[in-house]
């Protein structure tokens, strides 16, 4: 069936996420060293990430809201160390700003330009990237975030919401993403077409795509070529 709109995952599809997160964690820890020295002394960046993971495990109902998980884990670290938990808001704001300083994969700007001239593009993400701050908002007609919608991928409801926003039946929407469970299985289960973005930087080991996957590509130019964009 023809494709009339595209939904795109963001993290590890348009940019590598962990380098950005790691830089943001260092910036946050440097800030803590000045504003909450007891917390910085007890929790290095690895320990802060571990506490974040622990909070996420304790609150599975927050799994769609990475902002809340990060913010609450920072409050908990401050509280445990006798620093002011209210500092978490300012610390997270700094972290969040740095998290938007992503390094796009080389094909992304020109690839999105090609795709956007042919199809309406919509972001569909479980993360908390801000396309305006990242500098890619001009290519997208809109988007759905797990935090804003209340559930995340692979729940079929968030895919349905993206299709509703696009005004296109699911069978004519192609979802593009790097995660086999969240993106590929999720899209197929919701009745969308699915393209697995299998970038070697993200997926160095060969893995077989799920049955029914419509496209397996390593960059946006290959996808654009296949779609006639």
Q: Which domain holds residue 12?
A: 5-16+103-226
Domain boundary residue among 99, 123, 146?
Answer: 99
Domain of residue 201, CATH code = 3.40.50.1000
Q: Which structure tokens are listed for 104?
A: 């796009």
Looking at residue 206, what is its pLDDT?
74
pLDDT tens-digit series, residues 173-209: 999 999 999 999 999 999 999 999 999 999 888 788 8
Residues labelled as active-site residues:
9
| DSSP class of 181 | I
SS3 125: strand
Q: Which structure tokens are listed for 140?
A: 């997208």
Buried-exposed string 118-132: b where 16+ CB fall within 10 A, e elsewhere: ebbbbbbbbbbbbbe
The pTM of this model reads 0.92
- In a shared domain, residues 79 and 180: no
- In a shared domain, residues 111 and 169: yes
pLDDT tens-digit series, residues 152-178: 999 999 999 999 999 999 999 999 999
Question: Across-strand partners of 193?
Answer: 174
CB 16 within 8 A of CB 9: no
State the Cα–Cα distance between residues 57 and 171, nearest whole angstrom: 35
Domain of residue 38, CATH code = 1.20.120.1600
Neighbours of 190 (CB within 10 A): 22
Looking at residue 111, what is its pLDDT?
98
pLDDT tens-digit series, residues 69-86: 999 999 999 999 999 999
Domain boundary residue among 77, 99, 121?
Answer: 99
Q: Where are the beta strands (DSSP E) in the chain?
A: 5-8, 121-125, 142-145, 173-177, 193-197, 215-217
Looking at residue 1, what is its pLDDT?
73
Q: What is the mean pLDDT of the chain?
A: 96
């Amino acid at each position: 069936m023809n494709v009339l709109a595209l939904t795109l995952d963001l993290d590890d599809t348009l940019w590598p996420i962990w380098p950005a997160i790691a830089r943001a964690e260092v910036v946050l820890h440097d800030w803590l060293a000045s504003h909450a020295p007891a917390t910085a002394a007890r929790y290095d960046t690895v320990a802060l990430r571990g506490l974040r993971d622990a909070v996420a495990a304790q609150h599975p109902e927050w799994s769609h809201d990475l902002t809340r998980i990060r913010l609450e884990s920072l409050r908990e670290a401050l509280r445990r160390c006798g620093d002011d938990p209210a500092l978490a808001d300012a610390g997270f704001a700094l972290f969040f700003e740095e998290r938007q300083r992503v390094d796009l994969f080389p094909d992304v700007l020109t690839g999105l330009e090609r795709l956007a001239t042919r199809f309406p593009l919509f972001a569909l993400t479980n993360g908390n990237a801000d396309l305006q701050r990242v500098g890619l908002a001009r290519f997208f007609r809109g988007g759905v975030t797990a935090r804003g919608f209340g559930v995340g991928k692979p729940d079929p409801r968030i895919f349905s919401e993206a299709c509703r926003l696009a005004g296109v039946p699911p069978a004519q929407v192609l979802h593009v993403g790097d995660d086999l469970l969240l993106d590929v299985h999720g899209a197929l289960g919701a009745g969308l077409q699915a393209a697995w973005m299998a970038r070697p930087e993200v997926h160095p080991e060969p893995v077989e795509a799920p049955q029914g996957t419509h496209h397996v590509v390593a960059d946006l130019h290959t996808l654009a070529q296949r779609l006639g964009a």
